[in-house]
Structure 1
Amino acid sequence: MKELNYSKVFILLAGMTAATLAVYRVVSLQTDTFYAFLLWNLFLAWVPFFFSMAAHELDKRKIGGLLILPLGIAWLLFFPNAPYIMTDLVHLTIRKSKYIVDGTIQNRYWYDLTTLLLFTWSGWLTGFFSLYQFQHVIYRKSNRVLSWVFVLFACVMGGYGVLLGRVYRLNSWDVLTDRHQLYQLVLDSLNRQSVFFSLFVAFVLLVIYATLYCLLNGLASGNGSRRAYSKGGRR
């Protein structure tokens, strides 16, 4: 598992976020500020990355070993905020009357769709990099198998968190502020439809994360590529 340069990762994510905010600003001036809530949702998607950065730095410096666990719990509570942004696409359906007038799709539909997709991409990318970072911490402390067990568990909890957030309107911090409500919602959500939804989202998260993991760790051996090139020569 490759060690990434997280300073460069941070710059990449910050640049992507800045571009997303710029697009939102331009589109909101052309249409309206209905999607202003996406700014808060994107901020929440950044929170797990800050927790994973802290855990990674502590582990890298071999200090604060006891802090890794609470950082991991905090990360897990906020991680679902990253994939949750995808569900904001539902507003394109809710606001259908503004996008289709007399059978004609208005330009604002494409502006808002692009904005939502950019927010989704920024949130997902930030969340997946934070997952990769925490997986690397666990990989260094244990082995590859346990690190992937953690990834699988995180994706399942991410899917369940999306369910609690979108369907039951639960926030990450409600775990600390309203435990009775959380307990009741957990009981209410234990049904076949909710389990299927959570596992479906978890599968999607796992597929996308595995793709990112393969891209980051290389799909082919660099040495093998260089040997093939040297044998073939220039053409």
Structure 2
Amino acid sequence: MRELNYPKVFLFLAGLSLATLAVYYVVSLRTDTYFSFLIWNLFLAWIPFLFSMAAYELDKRRVWGLLLVPLGIAWLLFFPNSPYIMTDLVHLSGGKGKYIAGGTIQSRYWYDLVTLLLFTWSGWLTGFFSLYQFQSVIYRKSSLLLSWVFVVVACALGGYGVLLGRVYRLNSWDVLTDRHQLYQLVLDSLNRQSVFFSLFIAFVLLVIYATMYFLLNGLSTRERGPHPKRRRV
């Protein structure tokens, strides 16, 4: 499993987020600030990356391993916020009056669509890089197989978290502040439709993450030394 330069990853993700905010700002000047909630959602998508970066650095410095457990739990609670941004595309369906006039799609539709897609792209990349970071920690401590078991479990919980967030309007911190509501929502969500939705999202997350993993590892080539000099005949 290829080790990444995470300071550079951090700067890359920060630059991507700043570019996303710049696009939102330009679009909001031409339209309005209806999608301002995306800024908060992007901030929430950054939280799991901060947890994974802390866990990665602690493991790299060989700090007490038990500290990784609470960081891992906190990461799992906030990780669904990254893929959750995708579901904000639903807000495009409620604006037919401002998007279609005289049977023609207005330019605002494309502005809002691109803004939503860019926020989704930024949130997903940030979340997937945090998942890659935690997989690296588990890989160093165990094996590649167990690290992929963690990835599958994380994607499954991520899919379920998206369900709880979008359908049942549950926040990550509600686990700590309202456990009774959480328990009731879990019971309500145990039905065929919810399970299928969660597994569907989990499969999509796994496919996209596996694609990123392959691009980072499968397409890299080993550095070769200088070619040996040919002997003169």
Q: TM-score range by the shorter chain?
A: over 0.9
Looking at structure 2, the residues matched to 81 and 96 of structure 1 have their Cα atoms a distance apart, in angstroms, of 27
2:212 equivalent to 1:212: yes
Looking at structure 1, the residues matched to 169 and 77 of structure 2 have their Cα atoms a distance apart, in angstroms, of 15
Tell me the CA shift for residue 96 of structure 1.
1.8
Between 178-187 and 61-70, report the one with greater CA deviation: 61-70
**SS, match of residue 122 in structure 1:** helix
Tell me the CA shift for residue 102 of structure 1.
1.7
The residue aligned with 2:134 is 134
The residue aligned with 2:46 is 46
The residue aligned with 1:88 is 88
Q: Which residue identity lines up with residue 121 of structure 1 in the other structure?
A: W
The residue aligned with 1:145 is 145
Structure 2 unmatched ranges of 5 or more = 229-233
Looking at structure 2, the residues matched to 92 and 196 of structure 1 have their Cα atoms a distance apart, in angstroms, of 24
Q: State the TM-score, normalizing by the size of structure 2.
A: 0.95
Q: 1:67 to 1:220 in 2, by over 3 A?
A: closer
Tell me the CA shift for residue 19 of structure 1.
0.2
* Aligned 1:118-133 pairs, distance under 5 A: 118-133=118-133
Looking at structure 2, the residues matched to 188 and 48 of structure 1 have their Cα atoms a distance apart, in angstroms, of 27
Looking at structure 2, the residues matched to 58 and 220 of structure 1 have their Cα atoms a distance apart, in angstroms, of 27
The residue aligned with 2:65 is 65
Q: Which residue identity lines up with residue 193 of structure 2 in the other structure?
A: Q
The residue aligned with 2:110 is 110
Q: Which residue identity lines up with residue 177 of structure 2 in the other structure?
A: T
Looking at structure 1, the residues matched to 59 and 213 of structure 2 have their Cα atoms a distance apart, in angstroms, of 21
The residue aligned with 1:156 is 156
**Identity score, percent:** 79
2:195 equivalent to 1:195: yes
Which structure's residues are more often helix, by fraction? 1
**SS, match of residue 83 in structure 2:** helix
The residue aligned with 1:233 is none
Tell me the CA shift for residue 66 of structure 1.
1.1
Looking at structure 2, the residues matched to 59 and 107 of structure 1 have their Cα atoms a distance apart, in angstroms, of 49
Tell me the CA shift for residue 64 of structure 1.
2.8
The residue aligned with 1:2 is 2
Structure 1 unmatched ranges of 5 or more = 231-235
Q: State the TM-score, normalizing by the size of structure 1.
A: 0.94
Deviations 1:177-208 (A, max 9, x none): 00000000000000000000000000000000
Tell me the CA shift for residue 221 of structure 1.
3.8
* Aligned 1:158-177 pairs, distance under 5 A: 158-177=158-177
Deviations 1:159-193 (A, max 9, x none): 00000000000000000000000000000000000
Tell me the CA shift for residue 219 of structure 1.
2.3
Looking at structure 2, the residues matched to 222 and 152 of structure 1 have their Cα atoms a distance apart, in angstroms, of 28
The RMSD of aligned alpha carbons is 1.4
Tell me the CA shift for residue 65 of structure 1.
1.2
Q: Which residue identity lines up with residue 67 of structure 1 in the other structure?
A: L
Looking at structure 2, the residues matched to 222 and 58 of structure 1 have their Cα atoms a distance apart, in angstroms, of 28
The residue aligned with 2:97 is 97
Looking at structure 1, the residues matched to 13 and 104 of structure 2 have their Cα atoms a distance apart, in angstroms, of 36
Looking at structure 1, the residues matched to 31 and 220 of structure 2 have their Cα atoms a distance apart, in angstroms, of 46
Tell me the CA shift for residue 126 of structure 1.
0.1
Q: Could you list the runs of 4 or more consecutive aligned residues of structure 1 that deviate by over 3 angstroms after TM superposition?
A: 220-223
Looking at structure 2, the residues matched to 96 and 122 of structure 1 have their Cα atoms a distance apart, in angstroms, of 26
Looking at structure 2, the residues matched to 158 and 96 of structure 1 have their Cα atoms a distance apart, in angstroms, of 31
Tell me the CA shift for residue 218 of structure 1.
3.2
